[in-house]
Amino acid sequence: MGLRDLFEKDVQELEAEGILFTSLQKLVAWGRSNSLWPVTFGLACCAIEMMASTNPRTDMARMGSEVFRASPRQADVMIVAGRLSKKMAPVLTRVYEQMPDPKWVISMGACASSGGMFNNYAIVQNVDSVVPVDIFVPGCPPRPESLMYAVMQLQKKVKGEAFDERGVKLPMVEGWSRG
Amino acid sequence: MTTKTAPHHQDSVEGSFHTEYMRINVGPQHPSTHGVLRLVVDLDGEQIVSLKPQVGYLHTGFEKTFEHRTYQQGVTYSNRMDYLHGFGHDLAYVLAVEKLMDSRVPIRAQRIRVILNELNRIASHLIFFGTGLLDMGALTPFFYTQREREKILDIFELVSGARMNYGYFRVGGLYQDSPDGFEERVQAWYDDFWPHLEQYRNLWVGNDIVLARTKGVCVVPPEMAIDHALTGPSLRASGVGLDFRKAQPYSSYEDYQFDVPVYQEGDLWARMMIRFDEMVEAARIVKQALDLLEPGPVKDPDRRISLPPRQELENSMEAVIFHFKLVTEGFHPPKGEVYVPTESARGELGYYIISDGGSMPYRVKVHAPSLANLQSLEPSSIGGLFADMVINIASFDPVLGDVDK
Amino acid sequence: MTLPATGSPFASGGVLAAALERLTALGGTTSEFKGMTSVTLPKSQLIEGLEAAKAAGMVMLTDVVGIDYLTYPGHRGKRFAVVYNIHDVTGRERLFVRVELDDGEASPTATGVWRGADFLERETFDMMGVVFEGHPNLRKLLTPEDLEGHPHRKDFPIGESPTLFNDGRFLDPATFRAGLMGQDTGLTGWKGGARDGVRSTQGTLPDERGES
């Protein structure tokens, strides 16, 4: 089954068998995962390592992140790179809301994932409390290779091949919006 | 400012436009700002009428955090402020604490500190060029400078284990001696640096577009610079030759021969080219420090500051007591207030540390050069175009971790 | 266009002495610690003192430091101090001009002397709550608009979130550090030696007694 059937069978047959949409979904998911365009949300030191992951040594563009779009309307993943201060949190929410569905969030670094080494009045202790996070990347800062691995894990999640820590398969994003 | 009336009122007057100022919010999330800097800009067409920087979007409470960590633990925090020149902040912090403790740092540690500090300065200036030219629209130099920077980061990784945010400097010296191959690597980097520098010179120094966009634009005259507490390369580009490596040498800087570039124009071009010359001078310092490097200890032998070597712990009870006290509690500097000015890639950097005799500082105030430098942004941008303001921000080279602390 | 490596061509020397002379004439008391000279001026003479120091040659302002002496051991005097860190154009001579303030007492602004004191005084206001009279734009600089209070004051808590361990224990990070502060025993049960450190176990060390 799969792509071959798309060419050999009739559209009505495929719809009846429920194959067309599954194959189309997989095609769309494959396309989405290989063209994840991040929105520039570099905050602090992790932003420098995020920029360094685009350099020729660790080329993020070969993962499909060809450009970092400044406008959230044209991006589909937000890499929160750096410590999120409480003054910046509303801005983060607003930029996230401006991104069109489907969208994903990578929380890069220890400070974005858990507050990091800053446990005080000024830093949000987990970006997940502000936006729903898909991938957490540990490190202070994470090496560009770590960020690359994170993007690859996100690609698996987008395609529906990702598993969580208990071995349960995570669902692929269905249709045109987040489930 | 001449006011003109709107075209649909042409029947009443001679025929001209009534315009208002447009207020634009730039940032805090914006590709052209160097971090989360927000500007509220009043525009008359394309010309800037007023510019108000709003900072604080990266405020982390570093100074309060320092009060709740021991002096030795403070080294983990200091380099996260100005993450592009982390060794500069580390150096300023440990120098201030060492001044408070009257600690004598061995010469090998001082020279390695200088080598790493200057390499970090070069890495920071490379990012300055990469992002500054990116703001002008040139994408290629970014990747070229990142290539050079990766080689420097490899040296940092060799020495400290981390590419950025190192924990290598300690109060009293270094964490451990540099590993085998460090000197060869730095020498290899030095030999490899000059042809790449020539490449950069060919790529953008004589470039017509760069010259047209930066010559004579956003001038900061020296009186304005001094009045607005500007320091660092931006001040030296305006004609005031103040460099704390020469004025108050610290950590063996008096042993090296290097020039301090000073430009008189004070425009964007001067602020860019001065950092180019500074990279050359920094490379010269690295070479001289490397040549003068000799084997020796890297920690202050004073047991009140540095941990005793492990062999001593087997024999001496005193060493065990010192070790215990230092690890659980940390050392106690005498009461007092101290400030040591150093020169970071952005300007004058100093930590004003107040000790109350305890194992944690009482108050640490960081004079971060980027915040003071940002005050010169408004007077130099007013009257200019919006696109020039974008490069003007880049030319002052603010790092928002440094601004917001 | 580089200067030779033999130092700055600007005249130097004597600037600190000239500035000190003028400031002591205005009623300032000098003190010195490890090569750093500070002058404490009465609040009414602050601006005149800064202008006099600037005229004497201390033309550059580095920093405005706000200090809260609330929990400083052995401090008798007003709660706050604002220190102006100024130096001459060669960078070799530096002076710290201090003014002491009570809680709620306002200080005159130095923005008339240096425009660069603008952001620096705003930061001191935001962090310490020291009001600067005459400042053109005294608002919060670094903290969010909805944060009330002044974070770097000693009575403002650092605001740590407790750490949740996997086995369900909730631990306040301050308990790990309590032994270092000298007041509370915390988790380690050890009190931290009355802030004397090694000296409390060793007495005077050999090099302090004058031996080598």
- The verdict on B66 touching C (C-beta cutoff 8 Å) is no
DSSP conformation letters of chain C? -EE-TT--SS--SSHHHHHHHHHHHTT-EEEEETTEEEEE--GGGHHHHHHHHHHHT--EEEEEEEEE-TT-TT--S-SEEEEEEEE-TTSS-EEEEEEEE-TT--EE-STTT-TTHHHHHHHHHHHH---EET-TT----SS-TT--S-TTSTTS---PPPEEPTTS-EE-THHHHHHHHSS--TTTT---GGG-THHHHHSS-TTTTT--
Structural domains present in chain A:
34-158 (3.40.50.12280)
Lookup: tokens for B182: 């460090």
CB A50 within 8 A of CB A42: yes
Task: Write down the CATH number for the domain with range C15-133.
Answer: 3.30.460.80
pLDDT computed for residue C18 by the predictor: 81
Q: Is A165 on the interface with C (CB under 8 A)?
A: no
User: Helix (H, G, I), strand (E, B), or coil: what is residue A58?
Assistant: coil
CATH of span B62-404: 1.10.645.10
Distance CA B59, CA C33 (A): 32
Considering only residues 49 to 68 of chain B, which have any Cβ-Cβ distance to chain A shorter than 8 Å?
56-61, 64-65
Interface of A with B in 75-114 (CB under 8 A): 82-83, 85, 87-88, 91, 95
Position B259 pLDDT exceeds 80 = yes
Q: Does residue C192 carry a pLDDT above 60?
A: no
Q: What is the pTM of this model?
A: 0.87
ipTM for the whole complex: 0.85
Q: What is the mean pLDDT of chain A?
A: 82
Q: Which residues pair with B385 in a beta bridge?
A: B47
All residues of chain C having their beta carbon less than 8 Å from the beta carbon of residue A125 are 161
For B70, half-sphere exposure in the C-beta direction (CA atoms, 13 angstrom radius) is 25
Minimal Cα distance from A96: which residue of B?
B29
Are C120 and B371 inside 8 Å of each other by CB? yes
Residue B200, pLDDT > 90, answer: no
Domain residue extents for chain B: 7-54, 62-404
> How many angstroms separate the first and last alpha carbons of chain A?
26
For the ranges B377-381, C154-158, C198-202, the lowest mean pLDDT is seen at: C198-202
The pLDDT of residue B14 is above 70:
no
pLDDT at C34: 84
Q: Chain B contact for C180, CB < 8 A?
A: yes
Q: Given this model, what pLDDT does residue C181 score? A: 55
User: Hey, CA dihedral for A168, A169, A175, A177, is it positive or negative?
Assistant: positive
CB-CB under 8 Å, A87 with C144: yes
Q: Is the pLDDT of residue B111 over 90?
A: yes
- Spatial separation of the C-alpha atoms in residues C16 and C8, rounded to whole Å: 17
Residue B282 has pLDDT above 90, yes or no: yes
Give the pLDDT of residue C124. 92
Q: How far is C149 from chain A (nearest CA, A)?
A: 11
**Residue C206 confidence (pLDDT):** 45
A67, pLDDT greater than 90: no
Helix H or strand E encompassing B366: strand B363-367
pLDDT tens digit sequence for B246-257: 888 988 898 899
Is residue B398 reached through a cis peptide bond, with omega within 30 degrees of 0 on the bond before it? no
Q: Where in chain C is the domain with CATH 3.30.460.80?
A: 15-133
The residue of chain B with its CA nearest to that of A123 is: B60
Query: pLDDT digit string (tens) for C78-110?
Result: 899 999 999 988 888 889 999 999 888 888 888
| Mean pLDDT to the nearest integer, B155-160 | 92
Q: How confident is the model at residue C198 (pLDDT cuts 50, 70, 90)?
A: very low
Number of residues written out for chain C? 212
Q: Check residue C8 and give its pLDDT.
A: 39
**Between chains, do A122 and B146 touch, taking CB under 8 Å as contact?**
no
Residue A22, pLDDT > 60, answer yes
**In Å, how far is C26's CA from the nearest CA of chain B?**
24
Average pLDDT, chain C: 77
Lowest mean pLDDT among B6-20, B212-226, B277-291, B364-378: B6-20
Q: Tokens standing for B134?
A: 């990116």
Query: Roughly what angle, to the nearest 10 degrees, separates helices B140-160 and B107-136?
Result: 160
Mutate to test the interface with B, among A58, A78, A83, A85 (most CBs of B within 10 A): A85
For residue B236, the model assigns a pLDDT of 92
Nearest to residue B82, comparing CAs of B390, B349, B392? B349
Residue A3, pLDDT score:
64
Average pLDDT, chain B: 87
What 3-state DSSP class applies to B164?
A: coil
Question: Does A13 have pLDDT greater than 80?
Answer: no
Whether residue A16 has pLDDT greater than 60: no
